[in-house]
Amino acid sequence: MKKGDTPAAAAVQSEPRWPSILALLAMGGLYLVLPDQLTAGPNWSLLVAVVILVIPAIVSHRMGNTRLAHVLGFVTSAVITLALVWSLGTLIAGLPRKRQVPAELLRSAAGLWLSNVLVFACWYWRLDAGGPHARDLRPTHTKGAFLFPQMTIKEERAWKPGFVDYLFLAFNTSTAFSPTDVPVLSRWAKMLMMVQSAISLGTLAILAARAINIL
């Protein structure tokens, strides 16, 4: 038990971080399939940046420096988000000039759509109820930006969301343009979901439709 921790907080099992790490690495990997004209620099640069940021974040978390790990996590998510916005904007800007062949355009749209799901899953996981470390210090999840169905069941009072729950939420937002079974309670979460839905709509409706028209 760390100094200042209560017995209840010390007994709470820490949420595993490896799913979020895999998601970050997957986003760096998806950047590799994009054409060079859609990336800010070499297409391997994002994966390298993710690795450089994730390694010290893991070490900081293992050493108990949660503040540094939290900051590095935010920086990693911000870098990936900027890369996603840059690539999508470049792709849309190049549509009138038909810079890409249809197959390449579809592949780029699919990669950006998957990146959109993963990056916003990371944001929801990192921001909800103070982030994973703050959730670790609570025995149950009762207050957050999202009302998960398990939070309304008496038998599930000790339940807490994990990364997969936020990934499912992000996937639904990108496919149905709504949170489906998870009501949104916080204004910041509503704004993020609006941004995610707009990116997904631009990727699916505009880019994919354009590619099909020129097949």
Say what the pLDDT of residue 211 is. Answer: 60
> What's the CA gap between 127 and 135, in Å, rounded?
10
> What's the CA gap between 214 and 65, in Å, rounded?
53
Say what the pLDDT of residue 214 is. Answer: 61
Say what the pLDDT of residue 56 is. Answer: 93
Say what the pLDDT of residue 2 is. Answer: 43
pLDDT under 70: residue ranges of the chain: 1-13, 96-100, 155-157, 206-215
Say what the pLDDT of residue 105 is. Answer: 77
> What's the CA gap between 193 and 120, in Å, rounded?
8
Say what the pLDDT of residue 59 is. Answer: 92
Residues 6+ apart with CB under 8 A from 141: 129, 135, 148, 151, 159, 160, 161
Task: Give per-residue pLDDT as tens, 118-153.
Answer: 999 999 999 999 888 888 888 888 788 999 988 888
Say what the pLDDT of residue 49 is. Answer: 93
> What's the CA gap between 82 and 27, in Å, rounded?
12
* Centroid of chain to Cα 30: 13
